[in-house]
Amino acid sequence: MTPVNPAAPATPTAPSTAPVAPVPPGAATGAPVAPRTPPAPPALPPGTAPGGAAPNGTAPAAPPAALPGQPAPGTTAAAPQTPLPPTRPPEPVATDLQTAPVPKGQVDAVDAQVQRLPAPVEVRPVTAIQGERIERRPDFALPPQAKVVERVGDRDILSIVGAGIAGAAAGAAASYFIRSDDNDRLSRGSRDVTYERLPRGLSRETIIRENGVRVVTIENEYGDVIQRSRIAPDGRETVLFYDPYAEDDSRPDYYTDAGADLPPLRLEIPEDRYIVDVAQPDEELYYDTLVAPPVETVERIYSVDEVRRSERIRDKVRRIDLATINFAFGSDQIAQDQVANLQALADAVKRVIDENPAEVFLLEGHTDAVGSNVANLALSDRRAAAVASALTQYFEIPAENIVTQGYGEEDLKVDTQGPNAENRRVTLRRITALVKPVETARSQRP
């Protein structure tokens, strides 16, 4: 997607970022109180579940308990639903907010100024709903009107009837997309993995690491992620992403592009500050780009899979084209002599996560136009997973802070149908403000 850009071109410089404005007068000082429940604590850090304040976006994990309107643990009932709210149209973020430095540790405060939710969102602990233990991971259903076109390795390429009309889903063609699955990457080296069945077709997976950390993910009947949290050995929960509208029956069809009805993106910063593409690794440039706020206001929370499937939603945030990693034709392997080129990016990502452990990044894989759409989708997805795995294996970036998606030949950097090394690439975005309610978290701070 080519945004409308009234800004004049600029020479390549490190992208600047937004200042931190004070919390507006009258901001809420407590979490929303659900009916028939005691009041929530008065202050929670960004990206946390209710249960107590703590630094760096963490909170004590709640034990399994009944939610409002549910019977006690051990019984089965439908999970409460939050309807998809009416929203106001997004608008460009003010240029001065995008071009001032972000103070260290204040990334969430900057995001909070850009996220314009119609109402506060209560983030429930990932363990709140009582589950029924099952022996293995569920067999997920196909989305409505979907069929498996081909299985390439361990990846399903899906085709959805009407996708080309409703809006292009993630994939090399409007009607194709690949269901990217982070499960194997997240569970690598774990001590144990357990599964539970939840109400309304949901399931919960708990990955238990050797150090006692648990990564807990809730998925719907199609395998789409609704919530993911990291729970420390002391029980403190860091919410990574949370879809409050997942169980809204009035939500648009699965294959509808969540950004299809949004107006064209208006870019009010130079394009080289919006898309960073440099030949030499530059940690400071990467860091400044990653901590920068979205370029457009965020009108509601999107699920991770809505972000994956909508180019228009992804375009709300800046991206880094990782030109320093080049893949050989048809390969998803990172050459050993190129691993060091990831150091600057890894250091920048680690700095952001050290400041706020609840940050989420999307790694996107791409190919050139040689070969079939189906083969290129699978190849691009493997490329994204390869870089994510390298960031964890070599640089100790937590696997759960990264999600991946392959887009095949959908977004060619160089417009050619022939072999092209520049098109065989990965890109990185920080999508935290798109996938959980940071504004609510910010308003709960003292």
> Which pLDDT tens digit goes with each residue over 184-211?
899 999 999 999 999 999 999 999 999 9
Place of tokens 């969540």: 258
pLDDT of residue 5: 52
Coil vs helix vs strand at 373: helix
> ∠ CA 321-348-404 to the nearest 5 degrees?
50
CATH code, 134-443 = 3.30.1330.60
pLDDT of residue 438: 85
pLDDT of residue 83: 61
Q: How confident is the model at residue 33 (pLDDT cuts 50, 70, 90)?
A: very low
* pLDDT tens profile 138-172: 999 888 778 888 888 778 888 876 554 333 444 43
| Per-residue exposure over 32-62, b if at least 16 CB sit within 10 Å of its own CB, e if not | eeeeeeeebeebbbbbbbbbbbbebbbbbbb
3-state helix, strand, coil in the chain (%, to 5): 25, 20, 60
Confidence check: pLDDT of 410 > 80: yes
For the ranges 42-46, 87-91, 176-180, 286-290, the one whose mean pLDDT is highest: 286-290
Q: What's the maximum distance between 2 C-alpha atoms anywhere in the chain? A: 63
* pLDDT tens profile 349-367: 999 999 999 999 999 999 8
List Cβ neighbours of 299 (8 Å cut-off, separation of 6 or more).
87, 88, 89, 90, 116, 117, 118
Q: Please report, as a single letter, which amino acid is at residue 234.
A: D
As to burial, measured by CB atoms within 10 angstroms (0-12 exposed, 13-18 middle, 19+ buried), residue 121 is: buried
Between residues 414 and 212, which one has the greater pLDDT? Answer: 212
Mean pLDDT of the chain: 79
User: Please, are residues 320 and 341 in contact by the beta-carbon 8 Å criterion?
Assistant: no
56 dihedral zone (left: phi>0; alpha: psi -120 to 50; beta): left
| Per-residue exposure over 165-196, b if at least 16 CB sit within 10 Å of its own CB, e if not | ebbbbbbbbbbbbbbbbbeebbbeebeeebbb
pLDDT of residue 440: 41
C-alpha–C-alpha distance, residues 309 and 22, integer Å: 34
Residue boundaries of the structural domains of the chain: 134-443
As a whole number, mean pLDDT of residues 113-128 equals 90
Lowest mean pLDDT among 200-209, 279-288, 367-376, 384-393: 367-376
End-to-end CA distance of the chain: 40
As a whole number, mean pLDDT of residues 63-75 equals 39
As a whole number, mean pLDDT of residues 120-126 equals 90
Best CA proximity match to 92, nearest among 268, 258, 292:
268
Confidence check: pLDDT of 347 > 50: yes
